[in-house]
C-alpha cells in the first residue's frame, strides 16, 4: 500500500472501527497526520513569537480544527490495526500508561498481523 492509498483508505473509512488494517495503512496515515499537524503547528508558533501581536493566530485555530478532524480516523485506523493483530480495540488504552504503555502499544502496532482470518475479519489487502 502506498502513501496516497493509505490516506485515501483511512479517510474513506473515517469512523469505521470494524475490520482490520495492515501495518502500511496505519503507519502511512499516521505519518500523514503527523506531517499535517506539525506543518500547521509551525505556522502558529511563528506567529506567537511576535511580541507585538496579541491576537490569536489563525493557524492555531486551523491546527485545532484539523487535529480534531484527524483524531477519529487515526483512532479508527488504530482500532483496525489492533484487530489485525488479534487484539481488541480497547488495547489502545495501553498508550495512556506513561512510558511503558506507550512502548508496548508501539510494539503492538508494529507487529505483523495474524496470517489468516481472525475474529475481526479477513486478512487486509496489502
pLDDT digits (tens, 9 = 90+) for 68-85: 999 999 999 999 999 999
Q: Tell me the CA distances in angstroms from 37 to 9, 15, 52, 72, 99, one per residue in order.
A: 19, 19, 25, 14, 22
Whether 65 shows a pLDDT value over 80: the answer reads yes
pLDDT digits (tens, 9 = 90+) for 24-44: 999 999 999 999 988 888 877
Grid cell of 63 as nine digits: 491546527
Amino acid at each position: 500500500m502506498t502513501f496516497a492509498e493509505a490516506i485515501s483508505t483511512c479517510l474513506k473509512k473515517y469512523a469505521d472501527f470494524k475490520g482490520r488494517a495492515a501495518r502500511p495503512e496505519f503507519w502511512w496515515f499516521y505519518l500523514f497526520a503527523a506531517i499535517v499537524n506539525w506543518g500547521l503547528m509551525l505556522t502558529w508558533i511563528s506567529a506567537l513569537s511576535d511580541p507585538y501581536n496579541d491576537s490569536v493566530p489563525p493557524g492555531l485555530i486551523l491546527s485545532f480544527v484539523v487535529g480534531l478532524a484527524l483524531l477519529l480516523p487515526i483512532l479508527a485506523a488504530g482500532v483496525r490495526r489492533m484487530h489485525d493483530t488479534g487484539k481488541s480495540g480497547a488495547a489502545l488504552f495501553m498508550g495512556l500508561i506513561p512510558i511503558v504503555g506507550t512502548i508496548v502499544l508501539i510494539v503492538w502496532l508494529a507487529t505483523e498481523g495474524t496470517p489468516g482470518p481472525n475474529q475481526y475479519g479477513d486478512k487486509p489487502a496489502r
